Structure 1
């Protein structure tokens, strides 16, 4: 199905919104505001819908170009969860191993085994996959 848009109305909207490739965070925020404004309009015209799709496409393109953070390592996840739950290494002794084993696991000097991952998952109520 092809949209039939009025070129004059569409041109007016292009002048009003002046869409272009997003290059800065400020432009990204501005386009996000425009997108919300257009989405909130329940009586949106075909021309406004076309502009909405264009703005959404520009936002998506900008998002895809952004650098993604490195995923956290299993021991970093464990350290974070321990901090969130006010836990210390001693709290994991005899649950995932001896004092030495716990220290090595928490500090990333020893990989987390499958059985340790299952135990940690139960303690923190998360998926064991976070630790593997």
Structure 2
């Protein structure tokens, strides 16, 4: 059974949460709280869209405010999602297929390639681009 995207339900979520560009630490903390709540449940397609939107807004804020000289932080995003979803490296081994690869990525010795980014995106239900530079 394929779940369909309900525009009215999504509009209700947008109205309830009012996502916007994050400009302050307080707004970032609020968005992180919503993401954490959404992360720990089975999301509807509309909630998943809101979840991905908020992660994108959080990533943009954190890039601009915490490490402005770097374009993207695939490893920090991976570690954040891993921690927030209460998953382990073993879960990543199941996704990426090799413990050595997972250890190299997590230790910063190897970058996430396009296929790995796709698999991680599917696993965490986020855009694969969050894991690429």
The TM-score by the shorter chain falls in which range? 0.3 to 0.5
TM-score, length-scaled by structure 2: 0.47
Relative to the length of structure 1, the TM-score reads 0.47
Which of structures 1 and 2 has the larger relative contact order (alpha carbons within 8 angstroms, sep 6+)?
Answer: 2
